[in-house]
């Protein structure tokens, strides 16, 4: 976790790249989540439904993004985490997560609410996920 005392609007977390994601990563996540839809692990099924290959369960990217930002500002401080799925993630994709402080508000009960804009971007430049989160920090 970073020293949060000097956070300002525009502050950025160091980016983190998760690479490359594999079919095994997809299946491992499916096992943890209980979502065993064949689009995410069965190549012939995915191709028969019109996709070029299997693709990741979107919540895998959301979990990577959540882990990334809570390593920066602390899971105990997280109050809200929201994402929007923007692009599919395929085997071999590299995902780079970034976070930027977009708001800081003093709270009447003490502490500060820090709002962070989040991005999980594929190596192609397209956004796999976009989101934001609120943290309450001392």
User: What CATH number has the domain bearing residue 73?
Assistant: 3.10.129.10
pLDDT per position in the chain (138 positions), as tens? 566 668 999 999 999 999 899 999 999 999 999 989 999 999 999 999 999 999 999 999 999 999 999 999 999 999 999 999 999 999 999 999 999 999 999 999 999 999 999 999 999 999 999 999 999 999
CA separation (Å) from 33 to 25, 26, 28, 96? 12, 11, 9, 22
Specify the residue for token string 């999980």.
120
127 located within any domain: yes
Determine the structural domain holding residue 126 and report its residue range.
16-137
Q: Is the separation of the CB atoms in 56 and 26 below 8 Å?
A: yes
Instruction: Compute and round to an integer the Cα radius of gyration of the chain.
Output: 17
pLDDT confidence of residue 3? 63
5 located within any domain: no
Task: Give the separation between CA 125 and CA 138, rounded to whole angstroms.
Answer: 35
2 located within any domain: no
60 located within any domain: yes
- What residues are paired with 115 via a beta bridge? 103, 134
pLDDT confidence of residue 6? 80
Q: Is the separation of the CB atoms in 71 and 97 below 8 Å?
A: no
User: Which region, left, alpha or beta, applies to residue 83 given φ > 0 means left and ψ of -120 to 50 means alpha?
Assistant: beta
- What residues are paired with 95 via a beta bridge? 18, 122
10 located within any domain: no
Domain count, the chain: 1
121 located within any domain: yes
The tally of CA atoms less than 13 A away on the side-chain side of residue 30 is 18
Among candidates 120, 85, 121, 79, which has minimal Cα distance to 103?
A: 79
Residue 119: both structure tokens together: 């991005």
9 located within any domain: no
């Amino acid at each position: 976790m970073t020293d949060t005392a000097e956070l300002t609007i525009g502050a950025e977390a160091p980016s983190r790249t998760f690479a490359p994601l594999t079919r095994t990563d997809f299946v491992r996540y499916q096992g943890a989540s209980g979502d065993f839809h064949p689009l995410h692990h069965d190549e012939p099924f995915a191709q028969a439904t019109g996709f070029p290959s299997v693709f990741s369960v979107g919540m895998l990217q959301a979990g990577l993004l959540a882990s990334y930002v809570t390593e920066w500002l602390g899971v105990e401080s997280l109050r809200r985490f929201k994402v929007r799925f923007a692009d599919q993630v395929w085997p071999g994709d590299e995902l780079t997560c970034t976070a930027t402080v977009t708001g800081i508000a003093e709270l009447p009960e003490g502490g500060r609410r820090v709002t962070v804009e989040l991005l999980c971007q594929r190596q192609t430049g397209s956004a796999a996920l976009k989101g934001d989160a609120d943290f309450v920090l001392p």
